[in-house]
Every structure is written in structure tokens, then in C-alpha cells.
Structure 1
Amino acid sequence: MLTRRTLAASAAALGIAALSGCAKEPAPAVDYVLLNGQKVSSKQWAGKVMLVNFWATSCATCVKEMPQIAATHEKFKARGFDTLAVAMSYDPPAFVARFAESRQLPFGVAIDNTGAVAQAFGPVQMTPTTFLINKRGEIVKRYVGEPDFAAVHGLIEKLLAEG
């Protein structure tokens, strides 16, 4: 017998979430270290719309979409939007640091050395995987692969307008 919880879990696993009506999954509580050495907690996301992107320097789609993620960050950052790029545990830290520096990524970049952040979010196994999180800390959308950035921008607009 299918219950609301089973349906919600199935929908979350498939990356399907409605803006209203369906119970949203809370984003996991995670701690991570940015490339600059700053220790950060997901508790600091409260009141912001967050885009969390799991990626790798060896992932062609990840590299291809990164300029659009940077442009999205720049477009919305003044309105309570933030971005975190989480490099997968198998990505050599020197490659990640070089990539972030050479592309002048305008947002936080963390290396998930132990895989704990990717595990907390799913587990995340494919890159790119991107999550949109609302101001209340709920996962609103999960994208596996490169998303339609026009649609992402529309959803961000709606999330920023929410109370």
C-alpha cells in the first residue's frame, strides 16, 4: 500500500517536488570547509535560497554548466540567493583549486574529502547533481544532469518571492 510518505520519498528520489501541496524534504545538516579554509555549516543557509551543485573537474557536463551556475549566482546574489559548489571526494583537491581560481568562481567551493556531504544529500552518485533549497531549508528541486537554466531562474524567482 502506498502512503503519502512513500510517495513523497519516491518523488524526492526521482527529483520531483512541487512548490506547494507536497511535503518537502528538509535539506540535510552538513558542515564543510571552503577552499579558502573557512569552516561553514548549512545552518548558515537559513533565510536564503541556496543552489548546491555537486560536480567534478573530470565531468564534462559539470565544466560546461559552471559558467551558467556562476551567471545565476551573480544574477540573484543581491536578493538573498547563494551558491555552493561541492567537489566530489574523488576529485583531486589541486584540480578543484586550480579550476575555481582560473574560472574565478564567485561562490563558495568545498571539497567533499570524505564523501559525507554527498552521502547526506542522497547519496549523490552522478555529477552534476544540483539542489535548490528554499528559505526554510527545504529541498524544492533536484536536478541530475545539466538543468534548463531558464527554468531554474524562474523557480529561483518564485522561491525568492516566498515569505
Structure 2
Amino acid sequence: MKEDLKASPAPAAVLATDARRRWLLVGAGAVAGLAGAGLAAWRLNLAPARVDVADDLWSASFEGVDGKPLRMAELRGQPLLLNFWATWCPPCVKELPLLDRFHVQQSAKGWQVLGLAIDQPANVEKFLQRLPLQFPLALAGLAGSDLSRRLGNERGGLPFTVLFAADGSILKRKMGELSEQDLADWARLA
């Protein structure tokens, strides 16, 4: 009986092939990482706020979750953190307790926090039964999405937060989830 013996490749050739494979995988990973970073930068990039947005914002009115109208003009004159959110948005839901703590800590210093829900009233009502919040919330619907876009959120992503000075000018804007550090930095601005 004859055995079929194959010559095994030389160890140096195997090592060279493994090294090439590794470099190809590292290169492919780097390209994917750069593409992801580019996509994130594009998604999170904000356009300038439209010139007429201040007039639109301060003349707007939204339905509060209590059913009463919430007039933006009544919030002018103090620093305002305006947060666009939705119940179906995981980063929005995650940052709400942080915004609630910020409201409690900063309201004595004249700060205001307002959450504009880009959502259905029934969803917001049900959500608030599970997670009650102390800061004011209003139902913004499509008007809130339009306002968000005019404030520079062209892609309409959530969460989106805008910090206004007491004079109504925009100090900061952020697309994406806020951090405690963001809020600590913003608290020193206004």
C-alpha cells in the first residue's frame, strides 16, 4: 500500500502568509473604522441655525403634557436648555434622568429645562407613568421636528439639545446624547 505524502509548506512561507492575512485584516478594520467615523461625523454635524429661527422659536406655542399651552415667550429671559426627544429613542430615554437632575440642581439659579417630545401624546403619557420627570415637557410633533431643523438639526436626529442664553441667543447645540460633563460645562456658560 502506498501512502500519499504531501510535502508540508516551509515554516517561513506559512508565517509570511499569516502575516499578510493579519495586515489585510488590520487594513480592512481600519478602513471600516474610518468609514464609521466619517458617517458619525456626517450624522452629528450641525448646520448653522437659520437667521429667523429666534423669532419663530420665541413666538411658538406647544401643548404641555398637562394639556395646557406652553408658550415659548414665557421662557425667555433666563437660560434655557431645550431638548428634543422621543419615547422610541434609546439615547433620549437614557439622558432624561440626567436632564431631570440638571433641572433640579439649576432651577434655583434661574435655569429652565424644556423637553419637546417628537412623539404621539399617548406614548408620552404612558412613558411618564413609568418615568415621571420634574422638568416641563411639551408635545411638539411635526412642528417640533421643523423647529429642530431650523435650529441646525438638518437630518432631524434625536436627541438634539440647544442651550439658549437669557437674551435668547444660542450658546451651544448638541446632536446625540448629553453627558454629565456636557451639562457641567454648559452650566458655566449662561
TM-score w.r.t. length of structure 2: 0.65
Report how many aligned residue pairs link the two structures: 138
How far off is 1:14 after superposition?
A: 6.0
- CA distance in structure 1 between the partners assigned to 2:90 and 2:61 by the alignment: 27
2:161 match? 130
- CA distance in structure 2 between the partners assigned to 1:71 and 1:59 by the alignment: 20
Could you list the runs of 5+ residues in structure 2 that have no partner in the other structure? 1-44
- CA distance in structure 2 between the partners assigned to 1:148 and 1:154 by the alignment: 10
C-alpha RMSD over aligned residues: 2.3
CA contact (8 A) 1:47 1:80 kept: no
Aligned: 1:75 with 2:102: no
1:6 match? none
User: Which aligned runs of 4 or more in structure 1 are off by greater than 6 angstroms?
Assistant: none
The C-alpha deviation readout for 1:87-112, integer Å capped at 9, x for no partner, is: 11xx2321211222321200111111
Q: Among 69, 76, 92, which residue is 2:120 paired with?
A: 92
Could you list the runs of 5+ residues in structure 1 that have no partner in the other structure? 1-10, 16-22
How far off is 1:43 after superposition?
A: 0.8
The C-alpha deviation readout for 1:110-163, integer Å capped at 9, x for no partner, is: 1113x113312324411100111110011111110012322322222330xxxx
- CA distance in structure 1 between the partners assigned to 2:175 and 2:46 by the alignment: 12
Pair 1:40–1:130, CA change in 2 (3 A): same
Higher strand share: 1
Indicate the structure whose relative CO is greater, using CA pairs within 8 Å and at least 6 residues apart.
1
TM-score w.r.t. length of structure 1: 0.75
Q: Secondary structure at the match of 1:32?
A: strand
